[in-house]
Amino acid sequence: MKQASNTPDWVLSALDERRQQNLMRKTVTLNSPQTPRTSINGQEYTAFCSNDYLGLANHPSLIKALQEGADQYGVGGGSSHLVCGHLSPHQALEEALAEWLGYERVMLFSTGYMANLGVISALANKSRPVVQDKLNHASLIDGAVLAQATLRRYLHADVASAEKLLSKATNKGLLVTDGVFSMDGDIAPLAELSELASRYQWMFMVDDAHGVGCLGDLGRGSLSLAGLDSQSLPILMGTFGKAFGTSGAFVATSHEYAEYLTQFARPYVYTTSMSPAMAHATLTSLNIICSGEGESRRATLAENIAYLRKRLASLPVELMESTTAIQPIVIGDSAKAMQISESLRSLGILCTAIRPPTVPVGSARLRITLSADHSQADLMLLCDSLEQVLTAK
């Protein structure tokens, strides 16, 4: 006899509604490293949905560094940075990142989500509002909610819309944008937004999770592309789980902001530090990113992006305007996007359909992401498979 469920009706109703709208999310378990060729339940696929943009997640030097770090410093941080969880690898990584990006200080966080929650909830409040791009990452929105700050969102990448909101605000606050937008792949007008923040005397923060390591001089990201520095972009967040191929995040800023965040950023104060072994491996990743190998990987990634866009230009698809590793194809209907994703999977291509509420209603898409580790044969397989699926009667 089936046991009666004690789950509230509203939970069951919410799940049923998601199923009916083709919006249910499910976890897929990989049985292999994070590489373009991956395995799921013994079936091999060529993956185009990972954020491992430079192909470093399974790099032998990082694996070796992780093992060395664990041998010397152990696996767990053991405590928050402010108690006894700040080890030599953490300090070395912070100093190297600060020098690389040209900032006075860098603070490490366990995840990018926590970094954004920590910074925004500490800097904003009921009397210090937050103005954000309409398509900013959920963590940036949640940071403002956690701060109980007045939140206003300007039209995507629209500087005039942002200025309208700043000009109407009673109090000065925090202007926040992604550097590279995670679902569209386009780049924010950072130079113009920086000038706007300076003119209105607002704090300015950029989440460059999808740009740092991949873009700009020595991989310095959107900051470099826009010609900004630590003065014109005082608060920069970046993550290690994408181009760096490891995990964790950082905030680059001034001594004063860093001291303030050390006192008031609760996700920093009350969280165990990232693994010291991972910090050691991330420093190795940074060295690769800054080296000739890093430059070569960025060049290969750029070539892969150009090839994909050229091939897809002849297909009946809405390929979004993006020069980054994120190359979304807008399908529109969620059920159709799921169907196309499944058809590609039957051809050995792993490319996840992204649906609302992650993206706006009516803009479900295939979020194709490219890596420096994708070969010419991988790209040809993807393009041939897309042509077969998208032009099928």
- How far apart are the C-alpha atoms of 250 and 228, rounded to whole Å? 18
Evaluate whether residue 172 is within a structural domain: yes
pLDDT class for 253, splitting at 50, 70, 90?
A: very high
User: Quick one: average pLDDT of 158-172?
Assistant: 97
Asked if the structure places residue 7 within a domain, the reply is no
Catalytic machinery residues: 182, 210, 242
Residue pair 294/302 in contact by the 8 Å Cβ criterion: no
Looking at residue 30, its pLDDT comes to: 86
Which of 263, 290, 317 corresponds to the end of one domain? 290
- 297 and 284 within one domain: no
Mean pLDDT value of segment 316-327: 92
- Over range 228-235, report the average pLDDT: 98
In this structure, the answer to whether residues 73 and 214 fall within a common structural domain is: yes
Q: How confident is the model at residue 316 (pLDDT cuts 50, 70, 90)?
A: confident
Contact 331, 364 (CB under 8 A): yes
Rounded CA gap, 221 and 214, in Å? 6
- pLDDT on residue 2: 55
Mean pLDDT of 253-281: 97
Whether residue 352 lies inside any domain: the answer is yes
What was the pLDDT predicted at 254?
98
- Who contacts 292 (Cβ-Cβ below 8 Å, separation ≥6)? none
Say which CATH number the domain at 42 has. Answer: 3.90.1150.10
- Banded pLDDT at 392 (limits 50, 70, 90): confident
Return the structure tokens found at 122: 């500490």
How far is residue 298's CA from residue 95's CA, in Å, rounded to a whole number? 24
Q: What is the pLDDT of residue 4?
A: 57
Contact (CB, 8 A) for 348 and 381: yes
Region 286-302: mean pLDDT is 98
The rounded distance, in Å, linking the Cα atoms of 112 and 178 is 12
Does the pLDDT at position 228 exceed 80? yes
Annotated binding residues, written as ranges, equal 25, 112-113, 137, 182, 210, 239, 358
In a domain, 283, yes or no: yes
Residues 178, 132 share a domain: yes
Question: Rounded mean pLDDT of 88-93?
Answer: 98
> Is the same domain home to 282 and 304?
no
Q: Long-range contacts made by residues 195-202, C-beta under 8 angstroms, separation at least 24?
A: 195/232, 196/159, 196/162, 196/163, 196/166, 197/166, 198/232, 200/163, 200/166, 200/167, 200/172, 201/172, 202/131, 202/166, 202/172, 202/173, 202/174, 202/175
What CATH number is attached to the domain comprising 151?
3.40.640.10
Residue 340 confidence (pLDDT): 93
- Confidence bin at 318 (pLDDT 50/70/90): confident
Across the beta sheet with 151-154, the strand order is: 105-109, 249-253, 235-239, 203-207, 174-178, 130-133, 151-154
CB 364 within 8 A of CB 336: yes
Report the C-alpha gap between 262 and 268 in whole angstroms: 7
Say what the pLDDT of residue 3 is: 56
pTM for this predicted structure: 0.94
At which of 246, 270, 290 does a domain end? 290
What is the model's pLDDT at position 72?
A: 97
**What is the mean predicted confidence (pLDDT) over 145-171?**
97
Last residue of a domain, one of 239, 271, 290: 290
Instruction: For residue 247, tell me if it sits in a domain.
Output: yes
Query: Same structural domain for residues 115 and 212?
Result: yes
> How would you classify residue 157: left for phi > 0, otherwise alpha for psi between -120 and 50, otherwise beta?
left
Share the mean pLDDT of the chain.
95
Q: Residues within the annotated binding site for substrate?
A: 25, 137, 358
Q: Which two tokens stand for residue 94?
A: 């912070």
Tell me, yes or no, whether 14 lies in a domain.
no
Number of structural domains in the chain: 2
22 — pLDDT class (breaks 50, 70, 90):
confident
Q: Is 15 within the bounds of a domain?
A: no
CA 77, distance to chain mean position in Å, is: 24
pLDDT band at residue 26 using 50, 70 and 90 as cut-offs: confident
Does 36 share its domain with 163? no
**Binding-site residue positions for pyridoxal 5'-phosphate:** 112-113, 182, 210, 239
**pLDDT level of residue 297 (50, 70, 90 thresholds):** very high
Distances 183 to 98, 136, 336 between C-alpha atoms, Å = 28, 10, 18
Q: Would you say residue 2 lies in a domain?
A: no
Residues 70, 82, single domain; the answer is yes
pLDDT at residue 1 greater than cutoff 60: no
In this structure, the answer to whether residues 280 and 230 fall within a common structural domain is yes
Distance CA 139, CA 249 (A): 13
Q: Strands 364-369 and 353-354, how do they pair? A: antiparallel
Domain with 325, as residue range(s), is 26-53+293-390
